[in-house]
């Protein structure tokens, strides 16, 4: 099959597998978002308890992560001291719990389509916080692009038919906490050589999230749940919802491990447009032309940002390869000189 530019069976298999992983991730991410919206929205399942729902997810994911690591030995746990856990994992767990709490709360007030549009601000938040914490260097070109993304989201927000100030504040807060978490992962974990995949992340971070969410839950939602005598725990609904949330983490593990983080970013863009289309056609959310125009501008900015990141990664990889080839050439030259020197010494002794 190698003649005439035809692809080999191995390459075709890799391409099919890559698209399969992408399709699985898009399906699960899509399902979790729509499922959470269904549970929390007062016009649907009418169970507006985002902290409780997040705690159910964390308890479920923690239990399965322990089983996969301790019992089935699917992945190896990361070697980590108690001091490292307290200083590095606990702050990340606190930020993650706040991000999940606020993002799930936003589903009560905002449409799925508008939430996806607001999430386009994530690169802006990550870059801005990275600059503040001196993890990213300030570049006027990048900041101009960030402003264009913000401008696009602002237009989309202005065109939102069912704008809710409190819902927008919740979602923007979730974006800010999530962006801070992503930057701190680089500072507190990656810089120390600690790399957590989605399963080990859940193993270490999910119990921490559960502990942090317990305190606001006692004061915010527990009293209301006690008064709601009609509520009963639907194992089918919450069990399948939690299973989808855990499966999504496994899908991230497969997608990034078998393809790349860039593939996941591109897949994320496809997922966002699918969610907007689903929200408009099935859930019957109102999507205005101004919504789409604003999100289109933001989308172009995000696409350009991802393109610049890819080019920077390629340049870095090329530089590493040049450096490695230079080191190899220098090593060979040194070996040749040593062998020549040894040969001359042998001739002198003879």
**pLDDT tens series, the chain, 350 aa:** 444 455 567 778 877 887 888 889 889 999 999 999 999 998 899 899 999 999 999 999 999 999 999 999 888 888 888 999 999 999 999 999 999 999 999 999 999 999 999 999 998 999 999 999 988 889 999 999 999 999 999 999 999 988 999 999 999 999 999 999 989 988 888 778 888 888 898 899 999 999 999 999 999 999 998 887 666 778 999 999 999 999 988 887 677 666 666 676 677 878 888 999 999 998 888 999 999 999 999 989 988 888 887 787 778 777 877 887 767 777 677 777 767 665 555 555 55
- Residue 57 makes CB contacts below 8 A (sequence gap 6+) with 100, 241, 242, 245, 246
Are 36 and 112 a contacting pair, CB within 8 Å? no
Are 145 and 305 a contacting pair, CB within 8 Å? yes
Predicted pLDDT at 325: 77
- Residue 55 makes CB contacts below 8 A (sequence gap 6+) with 210, 213, 214, 217
Dihedral over Cα of 99, 102, 105, 109: its sign:
negative
In 10 A of CB 148, how many CB atoms?
18
Give backbone dihedrals phi and psi of 165, rounded to 5 degrees, phi first.
-60, -45
Q: What is the CA angle 100-89-82, rounded to 5?
A: 145
Length of the chain equals 350
Predicted pLDDT at 176: 95
Predicted pLDDT at 106: 96
Predicted pLDDT at 4: 47
- Residue 300 makes CB contacts below 8 A (sequence gap 6+) with 148, 152
Q: Structure tokens of 112? A: 């799925």
- Residue 45 makes CB contacts below 8 A (sequence gap 6+) with 38, 39, 237
Predicted pLDDT at 190: 79
Q: What is the CA angle 29-34-38, rounded to 5?
A: 150
Predicted pLDDT at 12: 80
What is the rounded end-to-end Cα distance, in angstroms, of the chain? 59
Question: What radius of gyration, in Å, describes the C-alpha atoms of the chain?
Answer: 25
d(CA 57, CA 29): 14
Count Cα atoms within 13 angstroms, Cβ side, for 66: 8
Question: pTM for the full model?
Answer: 0.85
């Amino acid at each position: 099959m190698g003649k005439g530019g035809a692809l080999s069976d191995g390459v075709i298999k890799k391409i099919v597998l890559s698209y399969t992983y992408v399709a699985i991730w898009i399906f699960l991410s899509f399902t979790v978002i729509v499922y959470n919206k269904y549970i929390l929205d007062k016009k649907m399942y009418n169970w507006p308890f985002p902290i409780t729902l997040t705690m159910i997810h964390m308890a479920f994911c923690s239990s399965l992560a322990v089983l996969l690591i301790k019992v089935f030995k699917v992945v190896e746990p990361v070697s980590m001291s108690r001091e490292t856990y307290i200083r590095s994992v606990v702050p990340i767990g606190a930020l993650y719990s706040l991000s999940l709490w606020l993002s799930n709360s936003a589903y009560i007030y905002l449409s799925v389509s508008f939430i996806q549009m607001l999430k386009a601000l994530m690169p802006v938040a990550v870059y801005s916080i990275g600059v503040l914490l001196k993890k990213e260097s300030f570049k006027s070109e990048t900041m101009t692009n960030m402003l264009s993304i913000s401008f696009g989201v602002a237009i989309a927000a202005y065109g939102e038919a069912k704008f809710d100030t409190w819902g927008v504040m919740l979602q923007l807060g979730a974006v800010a906490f999530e962006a801070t978490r992503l930057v701190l992962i680089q500072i507190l974990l990656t810089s120390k050589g600690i790399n957590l995949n989605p399963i080990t992340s859940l193993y270490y971070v999910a119990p921490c999230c559960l502990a942090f969410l317990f305190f606001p839950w006692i004061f915010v939602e527990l009293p209301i749940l006690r008064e709601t005598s009609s509520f009963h725990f639907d194992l089918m609904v919450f069990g399948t919802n939690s299973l989808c949330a855990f499966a999504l983490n496994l899908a991230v593990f497969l997608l990034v491990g078998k393809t790349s983080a860039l593939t996941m970013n591109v897949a994320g863009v496809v997922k966002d447009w699918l969610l907007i289309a689903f929200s408009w056609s099935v859930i019957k959310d109102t999507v205005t032309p101004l919504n789409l125009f604003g999100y289109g501008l933001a989308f172009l900015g995000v696409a350009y940002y991802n393109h610049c990141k890819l080019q920077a990664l390629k340049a870095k990889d090329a530089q590493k390869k040049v450096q490695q080839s230079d080191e190899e050439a220098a090593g060979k030259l040194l070996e040749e000189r040593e062998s020549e020197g040894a040969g001359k010494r042998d001739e002198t002794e003879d």
